[in-house]
């Protein structure tokens, strides 16, 4: 099991969300992740399902989509190796806001809300570092969405 934890540790070291953590903190955190493997076009989670974990893409790509009607998928973004998704589920107990699908064969590391919150409670200093990075990620995504909405509103004035 040590080799698996070392692999997870090396993946986490390269992620912006965990960039401020030292090796000891990363080693403790790496033990809380589980590996998941999905085949091309396999649904990872569906919009509306209750969320309780965050995922890190270690290999492959994940498509984030919303359903626009029966059998109509609107792809919002394709995430790649090193990207995180599902992070909102770590801080809120609400349904998933989008569907995620394996765009290619994909390997993901997943941490549950329970393990994440337990880690933060146990190591408040490093937990705060992670939460601040998480807030920056969410803020950046919100700002990007806001810019898209503004562009859509501006374009709709010409229709």
| Number of domains making up the chain | 1
pLDDT of residue 91: 85
pLDDT of residue 1: 47
pLDDT of residue 137: 83
CATH number of the domain where residue 25 is located: 2.60.120.10
> Residue 52 in contact with residue 113, Cβ under 8 Å?
yes
All residue ranges of the chain with pLDDT < 50 are 1
The DSSP bridge partners found for residue 43 are 101
Residue-by-residue DSSP string for 34-98 = EEEEE-TT-EEE-TTSBP-EEEEEEES-EEEEEEEETTEEEEEEEE-TT-EE-GGGGT--SB-SS
Residues 6+ apart with CB under 8 A from 2: none
d(CA 23, CA 7): 13
- Domain extent at residue 146: 2-156
The DSSP bridge partners found for residue 109 are 35, 56
**Model pLDDT for residues 99-134, shown as the tens digit of each residue:** 999 999 999 999 999 999 999 999 999 999 998 988
pLDDT of residue 99: 93
């Amino acid at each position: 099991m040590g080799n698996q934890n070392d692999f997870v540790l090396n993946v986490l070291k390269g992620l912006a969300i965990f960039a401020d953590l030292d090796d000891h903190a990363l080693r403790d955190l790496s033990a809380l992740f589980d590996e998941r493997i999905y085949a091309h076009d396999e649904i990872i989670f569906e919009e509306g399902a209750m969320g309780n974990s965050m995922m890190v893409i270690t290999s492959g790509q994940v498509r984030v989509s919303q359903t626009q009607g029966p059998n109509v998928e609107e792809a919002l973004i394709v995430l790649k190796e090193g990207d995180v998704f599902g992070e909102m589920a770590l801080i809120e107990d609400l349904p998933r806001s989008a569907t995620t699908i394996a765009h290619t064969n994909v390997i993901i590391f997943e941490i549950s809300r329970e393990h994440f919150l337990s880690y933060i409670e146990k190591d408040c200093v490093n937990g705060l570092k992670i939460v601040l990075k998480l807030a920056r990620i969410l803020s950046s995504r919100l700002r990007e969405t806001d810019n898209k909405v503004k562009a859509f509103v501006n374009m709709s004035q010409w229709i």
